[in-house]
Amino acid sequence: MSTTPPLHDLVIRTIAEYLIDDNKTVVKLQRLNGRFYGLRDIFIKALRLSTTASNYACENKPYGWNKVYSMYILYWNQSIDLSFLTGCRLQSMRLSCCRTISDVSALRNLRFLTIYICPCISDVSALGSLHYLRIATCVDIIDVSALGSVHTLILEGCHSIRDVSALWSVRNLTIQYCLGITDVSALKMVPKLIINECPNIVKN
């Protein structure tokens, strides 16, 4: 990655050199420079990266890659360690068909996360503070006891999950196509509970 200052920086510095005796003008230029970068960061924080742009950002880490609003990582079959996302300002991420990702603990500070067909992910205990979490067709996930503080939780096609009693405090809970679940009696107090196509649940 180039270390050359952005063109905007170079222009400001060049003008400032010629106005070295005019302190008021230099101060105005410095304030303008600060406002420019402030506005740039505002726009960056609103960016929702496509799958192509997300892959490029993960590989090359251009300026602002860790300040965007969301990323969508699709069909990532290379070996990847998500720890480089620790401390970034991402709000939302979607992982789809990523067959080499196993550790998602670096995503604990997100607000919104979707995990879809990621067969190597088995531990989601770090994701208990998310606002929205959707886990779909992740057959190695067994334990969801740490997800009781998630506001909106969607479990779809996760056949290895059997015990959902710890999810009684979830505000919005959807369980669909989870064949391993047989008992949902502990979920009676969930404010919004949707259960579809879970044929092995024993009705009381």
pLDDT digits (tens, 9 = 90+) for 88-140: 889 999 999 998 899 999 999 999 999 999 999 999 999 999 999 999 999 99
Which token pair is 51? 């799958």
The pLDDT tens digits of the residues spanning 35-64 come to: 666 677 778 888 899 999 988 888 888 888
Into how many domains does the chain fold? 2
> Both 69 and 169 in a single domain?
yes
> Both 125 and 192 in a single domain?
yes
Q: What is the largest CA-CA distance in the chain?
A: 84
> Both 82 and 53 in a single domain?
yes
Residue 26 lies in a domain: yes
Task: Give the span between the Cα atoms of 52 and 46, in whole angstroms.
Answer: 17
Q: When comparing pLDDT for 16 and 108, which is higher? A: 108
Is the pLDDT at 4 greater than 60? The verdict is no
Please give the span between the terminal C-alpha atoms of the chain, in angstroms, as a whole number.
Answer: 62
> Residue 172 belongs to what domain range?
48-196
Residue 2 lies in a domain: no
